[in-house]
Amino acid sequence: MSAASLKIAQTILEGFKTHYRLFQSSTNEALELFTEKKWKDLQNLSTSRISFYDNRVAETFKTIQSQYNAGELESLKWDQIKKDYVGLLLDIEQPELAETFFNTVICKLLDRKYFNNEYIFFRPTLSTEHIESEKPTYYTYEINSKNFLDVSHKILHELGLANKLKHKRRNIRKVLLFLKSINNQIRRKNLSQVQIISSLFIRNKGAYLVGKFFNPEDFYPFAVAFTPNEDDDIEIDAILTSQEQLRILFNFSRAYFFVNANVPSGVVEFLKECMPNKPAGEIYSSIGLHKHGKTLFYRDFIKHLKNSKDLIIEAPGTIGLVMLVITLPSYPYVFKIIRDDKNRRKDVTAEYIKGKYQLVKSHDRVGRLADTMEFKEVALPIERFDKKTIELLRTSASESTFIEKEMIIFKHVYIERRMQPLNLYINQEIIKDKLDRLIIDYGYAIKDLASANIFPGDMLSKNFGITQNNQRIVFYDYDEIMLMTDCEFKKIPESNNDLDEFSEDVWYPVGKNDVFPENFTSFLMTNPKIKDIFREHHNDLFDVKFWNGKKQSIIENKVESFFPYHESIRLKNF
């Protein structure tokens, strides 16, 4: 053990500890903002938290660089630094996150030619099982038909909500009605215990209690949603009782939760039991630990490559001018690479595109924007690409990729969940009721985005996808998105010349950020399968009043509620 290697290991760990302390502090602040109903402040906190990790990495990188020059860094024994770091993690409650932080700093310090799996945590080194914390991951209560009321009070107290509910009796009544509805299950299935994660999950204008009911042989996951009512008082709004409803709650198209987790692996393990088909990486991401979510994704993808033989191909869908999209058919993700400048408008630079993706990353995605993972300097074996894709990368994305030693190197790539493009789905033979439901949701997707201060830009159906499990419409083409508050929504002025309206050119002045909703008909209404049902339910999207009304609400700092569950299960009528 050298003094230099130990000092660098200690510096990296201190950077991680600072990061996680601030991360946990933001969760405590989020609970205060939620109970005080300061919705805009909570939204701003969610946005600012996205940069916490990168800021701490940059600080740690700068500290080490100030102590060693490039030549000294290259000559250090990085495998020894890793060993020293492992020795420092023995008493850390988040060793898996600390390992990911180490990887990020090391990859930033070293030139890519020095990358070596012996220098980083390509595989986890320390187990996350049986890590104990002063605050437990979950609370356990014995339940029976006589103590429902008492247990309900205890749970609300433990989660800090007992004194925050204005109408406590009405809320407890909702809980009792729910417990009564499953009372037959308790008698029939002998449910005798409930476990509750010891922290609320806070996002947007909702806080969620997550737990499991047990009997000696099985368990039943559930979540309780607390949201403001019409008078802005916090109440129980819904109780989710199925794995499918929980998967929607933790879906990749929503913003990250605030969760107070001293031992995040314990929370993830609990949630993984509730949603066994959901990847652990996506669960880590959903609770704000998206950098470690990336780590787990990469490990899983490399493992999948070793256990599969299909080739990476161009993804199905309409070919775009800005992004080249490829996929491995046996793996449910797509890889999006920025095309070369020659394929784009001059004002759409690579940095411009990255800015759009960063906007989505830091924004409240309200269930309508796909989350993305940003990777740099990723190497994949060229033998796993079909010839057409290799040629596409060479001719259309040479600024973002290159070939070296039988590997294709991606300088920069975005990865997101694969969805079926809406335009391809519409053109299939589909039962009319199902098609109508999707087209109606297509319109609501645009409206939800507008309410969340996102103007999609290109609203063609080719830029929307259908999620696999719950068949929800999600937007995934970000190169033209704008904030609603940056747009100028206008009505097309009346013409003084009857021939103007027949001209191929626009005869009225158009500013850079001008939007004319009346023109949406020219591209949203071209498909006869869409036209009638879309007009019936969303005709207001073609009216400038709708857009300016949404914009004004945003300017006035009004934050809308977006419920991650169906209207039919809300308890507002109790």
Q: Which of 84, 237, 364, 371 is catalytic?
A: 371
Q: For 156-175, give one letter per residue: b (16+ CB within 10 A) or e.
A: beebbbeebbeebeebbbbb
- The DSSP output letter for 569 is G
The β-bridge partners of 337 are 324
Closest to 373 (Cα-Cα) out of 281, 250, 470:
281
Which DSSP string corresponds to 294-335? HHHHHHHHHHHHHT----BEEPSSPPPSSEEEEE-TTSSEEE
Q: For 69-84, give one letter per residue: b (16+ CB within 10 A) or e.
A: eeeebeebebebbbeb
Instruction: Give the other-Cβ count within 10 Å of 571's Cβ.
Output: 18
**DSSP H or E segment with residue 547:** helix 544-555
As given in the structure block, the two tokens for residue 293 are: 């979510």
Determine the Cα–Cα distance for residues 320 and 396; give it in Å rounded to an integer: 11
Cα→Cα distances 19→24, 53, 95, 119, 222, Å: 9, 6, 13, 22, 31
Q: Are 200 and 208 within 8 A, CB to CB?
A: yes
Q: Tell me the backbone φ, ψ of residue 313, rounded to 5 degrees.
A: -130, 170
Determine the Cα–Cα distance for residues 422 and 525; give it in Å rounded to an integer: 15
Respond yes or no: is residue 371 known to be catalytic: yes
Determine the Cα–Cα distance for residues 64 and 18; give it in Å rounded to an integer: 16
Q: Which conformational region is residue 97 in: left (phi greater than 0), alpha (psi within -120 to 50 degrees), or beta?
A: alpha
**DSSP H or E segment with residue 18:** helix 3-35
Q: Are 310 and 330 within 8 A, CB to CB?
A: yes
**Measured in Å, how far apart are the chain's first and last C-alpha atoms?**
66
As given in the structure block, the two tokens for residue 50 are: 């996205």
Please give the positions annotated as active site. Answer: 371
